[in-house]
Structure 1
Amino acid sequence: MFMWKKFRIIFVFIFSTFQCIPEPSPSLLGVLILPLVTQTSGNFTIESTSPTNGSTGVSLTPTISIVMTQAIEPTSLNTNISCSPSCPSLTGGSSNRTITLTPTSALTSGVTYTITLNQNIQSIFGLTLGTNTSFSFTTL
């Protein structure tokens, strides 16, 4: 029995010396600063569009989405997006990196429309497109 007590004491002593190592938590510096460094060091361009460039058979009442590579400065969109041939008014705006546009009335069937983003559209980091950028789609 004396041996059992020694064993328990040694067992408790050994395991009490081990400490649990907590999982590292994300650094506030990495969460706040790193995205700024990454965002301002890249180009500000169109990442994707819906409908995609060259699409055919697009609905006469599409929701047009343009995803940019960086968050958009919403005030820079004013008069910096155009549609040709003349589209019905486009309503919408931006949320973070996405510009969403909807025609106020149906587009014309069988017409190829070109959406142009003016070079002056800005990211929230002050970068501009630098050149006018366009994509086209054809309605049903």
Structure 2
Amino acid sequence: MVMWKTVRVLSVLVLFHLHCVPKPSPSILGVFILPLVTQTSATFTIESTVPSNGATGVSLTPTITIVMTQAIEPTSLNTNISCSPSCPSLTGGSSNRTITLTPTTALTSGVTYTITLNQNIQSTFGLTLGTNTSFSFTTL
């Protein structure tokens, strides 16, 4: 009889203990830091562009997209992107690894434009391009 009482008491204690174990929850690190980690390369360079380098027959009102190998520090874009010959103002910005630019007015037909990213553009990991990097396209 004493044995059953001991087993019952131990069972209750085990069940009570299991009920009191806290359930795991996401850590602050996983919620705030991990989504920012978007480094896909050990170097910081242009991965791709639209229009592509050397493209012809590009619309006079293109949306220019530049995908980088790492997330971009948005404040480093200020005055670090240029267009030649002189483009209408380019509006846009960056989101994670992508820079999106749109001319405020139509480009000129039959002109080859060169977009240059200054060497000082920086990734969120502190890397810079290191050299000015350009790509060109020709409008319709």
Pairwise same-fold verdict (TM > 0.5): yes
User: Does 2:54 align with 1:82?
Assistant: no
How high is the TM-score relative to the length of structure 2? 0.73
Which consecutive aligned stretches of 4+ in structure 1 deviate over 2 angstroms post-superposition? 28-33, 38-41
Note closer, same or farther for the CA distance 1:40–1:58 as it changes in structure 2 (3 Å cut).
closer
User: Does 2:103 align with 1:95?
Assistant: no
Instruction: Note the alpha carbon deviations across 1:11-31, whole angstroms, 9 max, x for none.
Output: xxxxxxxxxxxxxxxxx8999
1:31-50 to 2 correspondence within 5 Å? Answer: 36=37, 39=39, 42-50=42-50
Q: How much has 1:39 moved relative to structure 2? A: 2.7
Q: How much has 1:84 moved relative to structure 2? A: 0.1
Equivalent position of 2:108 in the other structure: 108
What is the aligned length? Answer: 112
Instruction: Note the alpha carbon deviations across 1:84-111, whole angstroms, 9 max, x for none.
Output: 0000000000000000000000000000
The answer to whether the 8 Å contact 1:64/1:101 transfers is yes
The answer to whether the 8 Å contact 2:54/2:138 transfers is yes
Q: Distance in 1 between matches of 2:91 and 2:116?
A: 15
Q: How much has 1:40 moved relative to structure 2? A: 8.4
Structure 1 unaligned blocks of 5 or more: 1-27
Counterpart of 1:75, as a letter, is T
Counterpart of 1:126, as a letter, is G
How high is the TM-score relative to the length of structure 1? 0.73
The answer to whether the 8 Å contact 2:66/2:98 transfers is yes
Q: Percent identity between the aligned chains? A: 88
The answer to whether the 8 Å contact 1:84/1:114 transfers is yes
The root-mean-square deviation of aligned C-alpha atoms, in Å, is 2.2
The answer to whether the 8 Å contact 2:50/2:66 transfers is yes
Structure 2 unaligned blocks of 5 or more: 1-26
The answer to whether the 8 Å contact 1:40/1:125 transfers is no
User: Does 2:95 align with 1:122?
Assistant: no
SS class of match (1:127): coil
